[in-house]
């Protein structure tokens, strides 16, 4: 089916889950989740898949095994899309009671990828290229985030002109919108597509300079 927007009932579902994150609430409102959250998100990513890659919707259940927070359900629904053969770099979308969130970049890099990332950041050609992409995204109201070291990475001078980027162990850009009427229409798809296209340069840089890991697959994912 064609994506036609995120129904307001989906946001109402998450408002209730925020207040009562229990198996009883989930069981009582599971149909609302399936119809007003999961279905429209699946329709959105399926429609955008030809341009942005294979979609994967995340499970709604939290992994509480090593967490002090034992609430069983995520209070958002997310999906990631990744172009085959690109290695690092993907796009992400999330719907919740807070509205819509979109992102692009990499959320977890293996040690071999981090090594290649830092060599590229330090490079006199590739480093400024990434710096320009990050500046462009910030100018378009994207927040730049990712896991970072506090200290200077080993082998790099403390006064390196791209020290902030060198400290990153992952790098992604995100934009968020609070709930609005356009979320319930195809305008939501346009917002997501436009934002992901803004992230294309960052993902291309990651594909060119970081690529895929040679580490064994992480069975926890």
pLDDT tens digits, 132-142? 999 999 999 99
Which CATH number among 3.40.47.10, 3.20.20.150, 3.30.1490.20, 3.30.930.20 corresponds to the domain 8-209?
3.30.930.20
Which tokens in the block code for residue 221? Answer: 């994912």
**68-76 LR contacts (CB < 8 Å, sep 24+):** 71/21, 72/21, 72/22, 72/23, 72/26, 73/17, 73/21, 73/26, 75/14, 75/17, 75/18, 75/21, 76/14, 76/101
The structure's pTM equals 0.92
Mean pLDDT of 52-63: 94
Domain edges within the chain: 8-209
Enter the DSSP assignment of 141: T
Q: In the β-sheet with 171-177, what is the strand arrangement from edge to edge?
A: 54-57, 76-82, 90-96, 99-106, 171-177, 143-145
| pLDDT tens-place string over residues 78-101 | 999 998 877 889 999 999 999 999
| pLDDT tens-place string over residues 155-206 | 899 999 999 999 999 999 999 999 999 999 999 999 999 999 999 999 999 9
| pLDDT tens-place string over residues 2-49 | 999 999 999 999 999 999 999 999 999 999 999 999 999 999 999 999
Mean pLDDT of 59-72: 87
First-to-last C-alpha distance (Å) of the chain: 29
């Amino acid at each position: 089916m064609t994506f036609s927007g995120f129904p307001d009932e989906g946001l109402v579902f998450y408002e209730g889950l925020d207040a009562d994150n229990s198996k009883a609430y989930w069981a009582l409102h599971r149909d609302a989740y399936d119809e007003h959250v999961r279905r429209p998100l699946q329709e959105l990513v399926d429609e955008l898949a030809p341009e942005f890659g294979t979609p994967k919707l995340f499970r709604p259940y939290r992994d509480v095994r090593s967490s002090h927070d034992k609430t069983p359900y995520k209070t958002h629904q997310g999906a990631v899309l990744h172009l085959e053969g690109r290695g690092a770099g993907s796009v992400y979308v999330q719907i919740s009671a807070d509205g819509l969130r979109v992102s692009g970049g990499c959320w977890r890099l293996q040690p071999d990828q981090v090594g290649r990332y830092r060599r590229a950041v330090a490079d006199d050609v590739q480093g400024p290229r990434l710096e320009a992409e990050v500046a462009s995204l910030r100018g378009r109201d994207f927040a730049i985030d990712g896991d970072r070291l506090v200290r200077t990475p080993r082998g790099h001078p403390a006064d390196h002109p791209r020290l902030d980027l060198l400290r990153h162990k992952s790098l992604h850009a995100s934009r968020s919108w609070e709930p609005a009427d356009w979320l319930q229409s195809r305008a939501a798809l346009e917002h997501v597509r436009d934002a992901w296209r803004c992230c294309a340069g960052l993902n291309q840089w990651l594909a060119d300079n970081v690529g895929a890991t040679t580490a064994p697959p992480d069975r926890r994912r």
